[in-house]
Amino acid sequence: MVNKRSLQKIISGLVVAPSFAASLYFVYGFILWTGYLSLTKSRLFPNYQFAGLVSYARVWAQDRWHVAIGNLAIFGSLFILICILLGALLAILLDQRIRIEGALRTIYLYPMAVSFIVSGTVWRWLLDPVVGIQQFMRDHGFPNFDFAWTQNAHLAVYALVIAAVWQSSGFVMAIFLAALRGVDQEIIRAAYLDGASLPRIYMTIVLPSIRPVFLTAIVVLGHIGIKSFDLVQALTAGGPGYASTLPANFMFQMTFGQSELGMGAASAMMMLFTVMAIIVPYLYSELRGMGKERRG
């Protein structure tokens, strides 16, 4: 007699199966495909003959790639650092029983609701030499004020940071604020009674106790940073020249712009490896924690 309870489990498995199959094909399958392509000499069309690391070598031979990587390092580290500092600062300040907290939270977070293309577009004009902030400041008594970073090959990448921080620090603020609200009040009262000043309490007690949130923030921001593509397109289009290009733009350019599929695939794989190096250990420790909960 068929056990009707195991039938339920079969149905359950069948329900999840399409998503799982989609994941196998569209995620894992595709990654393998891209990976294989990265080991070929494909140009306009895929050429499935194995060619070793030729395409990788060609990528590394491009000055454009070196610029992109350098930019990613600068952009990534600044972006993460400033977002965390700003987000933490805003969260701590908002935690002080501010009357307009709701309104302020809404203001800090709304940038997350819009596309990176939109924010890139707006900041592009804000950083325009004639129309934007630079001219405004010059008209108001700062004749040598220079803020047209998007036109400057050395400073363009920092323009990216400004726009990206604007877009994403609200998110850091939101998760920090949620974490701060979960801190045990009694420990803080005890420290206050012991004579610790408020800033000291934050630095030595509160912030260390929400360490996991720092990690989450870094991981998520890192992920956003590595994927950054839209922002560059809209803000600087990678320019001037390719001074502010990032690996994601490089990949797109190679694949859809210059018909160099092998190099596109190679750069994509390198992006993937970088992301995996951060995410996989993180996910592994999270899932292990989950597994332990289950048996509890």
Partner 1 sequence: MAEAMVLAGRSSGTAVFGRILVYGILLLFAAYFLLPLFFMVATSLKSLEELRQGTFLSLPSHVTFWAWWEAWVDGCEGVQCGGALGGHFINSLEFTIPAVLISTALGALNGYALTKVRFPGANIVFGMLLFGCFIPFQSILLPMAFTLGKLGLASTITGLILTHVVYGLCFTTLFFRNFYVTVPDELVHAATIDGAGFFSTFWRIMVPISLPIITVTLIWQFTQIWNDFLFGASFTRGNAQPITVALNNLVNTSEGVKRYNVDMAAAMIAAAPTLIVYVLAGKYFIRGLTAGAVKG
Partner 2 sequence: MATLSIRNVKKRYGALEILKGIDIELADGEFLVLLGPSGCGKSTLLNIIAGLLDLSEGEIRIGDRDVSNVHPKDRDIAMVFQSYALYPNMNVARNLAFGLEMRGVEKAKREKAIAHVAQMLQIEHLLSRKPAQLSGGQRQRVAIGRALVREPKVFLFDEPLSNLDAKLRVEMRTEIKKLHHRLGTTIVYVTHDQIEAMTLASRIAIMQNGEVQQFASPQEVYEQPVNMYVAGFMGSPAMNFLRGTLTQQNGRLSVALNGGRAQHLPLWQPSGAVSQRVGQDIILGLRPENFAVAGRAQSAAPMALAEVTAQVDVVEPTGADTLAFMELGGANTIARLRPGDVKGPGEELRFAIDMSRACLFDPTTERRL
Between residue 4 and residue 33, which ones bind partner 2 under the rule CB under 8 A? 4-5
What's the burial of 227, exposed, middle or buried (CB within 10 Å: 0-12/13-18/19+)? middle
Q: Determine, following the binding rule CB under 8 A, whether residue 97 of this chain makes contact with partner 2.
A: no
Q: How far is the CB of 176 from partner 1 (least distance, A)?
A: 10
Burial 116-127 (b: 16+ CB within 10 A, else e): beebbbbbbebb
Q: Determine, following the binding rule CB under 8 A, whether residue 294 of this chain makes contact with partner 2.
A: no
| Closest alpha carbon to 232 in 76, 3, 95, 106 | 76
Q: How far is the CB of 100 from partner 1 (least distance, A)?
A: 8
Per DSSP, helices labelled H in the chain are 4-22, 30-37, 54-60, 63-94, 101-109, 116-126, 133-139, 156-181, 185-193, 198-201, 207-209, 211-227, 230-235, 247-252, 261-295
Q: What is the DSSP letter of 40?
A: B
Instruction: Indicate which single residue of 56, 65, 75, 116 sits in contact with partner 1 (rule: CB under 8 A).
Output: 116
Q: How far is the CB of 56 from partner 1 (least distance, A)?
A: 14
Closer CB to partner 1, 67 or 260, in the complex: 260
Closer CB to partner 2, 1 or 290, in the complex: 1
Closer CB to partner 2, 13 or 208, in the complex: 13
Q: What is the DSSP letter of 258?
A: S
Q: How far is the CB of 57 from partner 1 (least distance, A)?
A: 19
Instruction: Indicate which single residue of 3, 49, 144, 185 sits in contact with partner 1 (rule: CB under 8 A).
Output: 185
Q: Determine, following the binding rule CB under 8 A, whether residue 188 of this chain makes contact with partner 1.
A: yes
Instruction: Indicate which single residue of 61, 73, 203, 283 sits in contact with partner 1 (rule: CB under 8 A).
Output: 283
Q: Determine, following the binding rule CB under 8 A, whether residue 54 of this chain makes contact with partner 1.
A: no
Q: Determine, following the binding rule CB under 8 A, whether residue 73 of this chain makes contact with partner 1.
A: no
User: Could you tell me the maximum CA-CA distance found in the chain, to the nearest angstrom?
Assistant: 89
Residue 59 contacts residue 261 (beta carbons within 8 Å): no
**Rounded Cα distance, 274 and 63, in Å:** 20
Q: Determine, following the binding rule CB under 8 A, whether residue 140 of this chain makes contact with partner 2.
A: no
Q: Determine, following the binding rule CB under 8 A, whether residue 49 of this chain makes contact with partner 1.
A: no
